[in-house]
Amino acid sequence: MTPIKIHNSLSGEVEEFKPIDKPYLIGMYTCGPTVYNYTHIGHLRTYIFEDIFKRVLSKNGYLIEHVMNVTDIGHLSSDSDTGEDKIERQAKKENKTVYQIANFYTKDFLWNLKQLNIDRPNILAPASHYIKDQIKMIKKLEAKGYTYKISDGIYFDTSKIDCYKTLFNQNKDDLKSDDRIENASEKKNPTDFALWKFSPKDEKRQMEWKSPWGIGFPGWHTECVSIATKHLGKYFEVHCGGWDHIPVHHPNEIAQAIGVTGKKLSKYWIHFGFLLQNSEKMSKSTGNFYRIKDVIDQNINPLAYRLFVLNTYYRKTADFSMEAINASNNALNNLYQFAEKIQALKRIKIFKRKLFKNTKQNFIILKNFETDFINAFNDDLNSPKALETLWNMISTVNKDIYSFDPNEVISVLKNFDDILGLKILNHKKPRIPIKIRFLAWKRYILKNQKKFKESDKIRDNILDLGYQINDYQTFYTISKKQ
């Protein structure tokens, strides 16, 4: 197994992954959902890859402490701290309290994770539960001279952080200040951001708190640093998020972390490419999004979306289309069919041992596939290459299936699925009605008696009823017609 290598957006290079001090414990922070609307499959692309990276770390022997925030406060319609609070706006629209909105969409988010077999974080932290921590952090920044006050809040002075302008190899001198409209004239630098926003004088917000600076609420960039450092310490291994966080949110997190602790919060910063819909980023705010529920409504297994995501390298954009998901659904069914076949062979082997002639050489072939697979994932999460290994393994085994030990093939599939998370060996099998099972059995007997005309007729009859028989040398399986 080769060591893990991963692209670190801080250096702009693919680096060998090495924990900071504790040899086997990894601190991981991932920016979570803003819970004002449904989770869409664009978000899920990022969450799937975060889950994959966790599984890769785990396969390499690491234990992971994973913390994710839930933004239920302070995320304004522009990432540059202007506009309306997204959750307060949605609460007005739906005539509900902000707590009801946050609760409802948090549940939706968790439902989505379950559909896609994404492991939940160890700690899921709603920002509104960490107000005291955020105030404490802003006070520290204030004491160290990083903040200043303007009419709508307390701001972070980004010019005080030497490396700020070039973080993630960007050049912030190119920034135009005209996208920071409302408070541009009062801010010292266009890149400065709100740590604490004052509640508007003419409006009662549903979520607001007292603070040393006046009644208001914390800025969006503040929650992640408070939550992350509270649970994972000053400096931890991994911080992830989508590409959209590279220009604003993540530099602002790092600026605050440097202000408070002198460190850049995390050693590795990993960013995932966008899911596009009609060549544009899929996004809640523009409304051009699909949900996993839409995929399920099309009779597609949600895990087909997981497979679709893994087909494209994480640092590239991926184009969404229902046709592509359909193709992934077919591929997933083929994978399941192969797994069912191998599981059936395992049962058959108990009383038909002589059919099998597994060789030591084939054991080595399987082990080599296993090594290639993990090496592909260890090589900067190269999921397309890992999938290629999976399909190669299946076609090699299929070519001479009785020369492989089904137990060994199952063990390889299990190892692959520990990372892929496609439920290869424990997928929900479609319930085959008793009538179909009976017909299939009858056909099997007739076929063995060489009454091919009658047996073919039953097979066609089964097809008309929406099921297909997959014949193998000494047995058959039944699946839904593809």
Contact positions vs ligand AMP (CB under 6 A): 31, 33-34, 42-43, 45-46, 241-242, 244-245, 272, 274-275, 281-283
Q: How far is the CB of 241 from Zn ion (least distance, A)?
A: 6
Handedness of CA 148, 152, 156, 158 (dihedral sign): negative
Q: How far is the CB of 43 from Zn ion (least distance, A)?
A: 13
Residues 6+ apart with CB under 8 A from 118: 44, 47, 48, 50, 51, 112, 421
153 binds, among ligand AMP, Zn ion, none (CB under 5 to 8 A by kind): none
Instruction: Considering the complex, state which of residue 127 and residue 446 has its C-beta at the smaller distance from Zn ion.
Output: 127
**Residue 31 in contact with Zn ion, rule: CB under 5 A:** yes
Nearest residue to the partner ligand AMP, using Cβ? 242
Per the CB < 8 A criterion, the answer to whether 420 and 310 are in contact is yes
**Residue 254 in contact with Zn ion, rule: CB under 5 A:** no
Instruction: Considering the complex, state which of residue 31 and residue 98 has its C-beta at the smaller distance from Zn ion.
Output: 31
Instruction: Considering the complex, state which of residue 293 and residue 349 has its C-beta at the smaller distance from ligand AMP.
Output: 293
Instruction: Considering the complex, state which of residue 257 and residue 413 has its C-beta at the smaller distance from Zn ion.
Output: 257
Beta bridge partners of 238: 28, 268
Instruction: Considering the complex, state which of residue 31 and residue 270 has its C-beta at the smaller distance from Zn ion.
Output: 31
- Quick check: helix, strand or coil at residue 213? coil
283 binds, among ligand AMP, Zn ion, none (CB under 5 to 8 A by kind): ligand AMP
Q: How far is the CB of 167 from ligand AMP (least distance, A)?
A: 17
Instruction: Considering the complex, state which of residue 31 and residue 57 has its C-beta at the smaller distance from Zn ion.
Output: 31
Instruction: Considering the complex, state which of residue 31 and residue 469 has its C-beta at the smaller distance from Zn ion.
Output: 31
Q: Where are any strands of DSSP class E within 379-443?
A: none
Handedness of CA 237, 315, 163, 81 (dihedral sign): negative
Instruction: Considering the complex, state which of residue 141 and residue 387 has its C-beta at the smaller distance from Zn ion.
Output: 141
405 binds, among Zn ion, ligand AMP, none (CB under 5 to 8 A by kind): none
What does the alpha-carbon distance between residue 378 and residue 373 come to, in Å, rounded to a whole number? 9
Instruction: Considering the complex, state which of residue 282 and residue 419 has its C-beta at the smaller distance from ligand AMP.
Output: 282
Nearest to 459 by CA among 340, 467, 435: 467
Tokens of 99: 């707590």
Of the listed pieces 2-10, 23-31, 37-45, 324-332, which binds Zn ion according to CB under 5 A?
A: 23-31
224 binds, among Zn ion, ligand AMP, none (CB under 5 to 8 A by kind): Zn ion
275 binds, among ligand AMP, Zn ion, none (CB under 5 to 8 A by kind): ligand AMP
Q: How far is the CB of 237 from ligand AMP (least distance, A)?
A: 18
What does the alpha-carbon distance between residue 457 and residue 364 come to, in Å, rounded to a whole number? 43
Antiparallel, parallel or unpaired: β 275-277 and 280-281: antiparallel
Q: How far is the CB of 9 from Zn ion (least distance, A)?
A: 14
For residue 250, the Cα-to-chain-centroid distance in whole angstroms is 18
**Residue 240 in contact with Zn ion, rule: CB under 5 A:** no
Instruction: Considering the complex, state which of residue 224 and residue 478 has its C-beta at the smaller distance from ligand AMP.
Output: 224
281 binds, among ligand AMP, Zn ion, none (CB under 5 to 8 A by kind): ligand AMP
Instruction: Considering the complex, state which of residue 241 and residue 302 has its C-beta at the smaller distance from ligand AMP.
Output: 241
Residue 50 main-chain phi, psi, to 5 deg = -65, -40
Alpha helices in 298-382 (DSSP H): 302-310, 322-351, 360-378
Q: How far is the CB of 160 from Zn ion (least distance, A)?
A: 21
What does the alpha-carbon distance between residue 453 and residue 447 come to, in Å, rounded to a whole number? 9
Per the CB < 8 A criterion, the answer to whether 276 and 192 are in contact is no
What does the alpha-carbon distance between residue 124 and residue 41 come to, in Å, rounded to a whole number? 20
332 binds, among ligand AMP, Zn ion, none (CB under 5 to 8 A by kind): none
Q: How far is the CB of 254 from Zn ion (least distance, A)?
A: 11
Binding-residue total with Zn ion (CB under 5 A): 2
For tokens 């190892």, name the residue: 415
State which of residues 224, 225, 303, 345 lies at the interface with Zn ion (CB under 5 A).
Answer: 224
Q: How far is the CB of 156 from ligand AMP (least distance, A)?
A: 20
CA distances from 270 to 84, 93, 151, 258, 389 (A): 29, 35, 36, 19, 25
Per the CB < 8 A criterion, the answer to whether 282 and 40 are in contact is yes
Q: How far is the CB of 41 from ligand AMP (least distance, A)?
A: 8
406-420 helix and 41-59 helix, angle to the nearest 10 degrees: 130
Q: How far is the CB of 86 from ligand AMP (least distance, A)?
A: 9
Per the CB < 8 A criterion, the answer to whether 478 and 440 are in contact is yes
Angle at 67 between CA 166 and CA 281, to 5 degrees: 55
302-310 helix and 41-59 helix, angle to the nearest 10 degrees: 70
Q: How far is the CB of 421 from ligand AMP (least distance, A)?
A: 18
Would you tell me which residues interact with Zn ion (CB under 5 A)? 31, 224
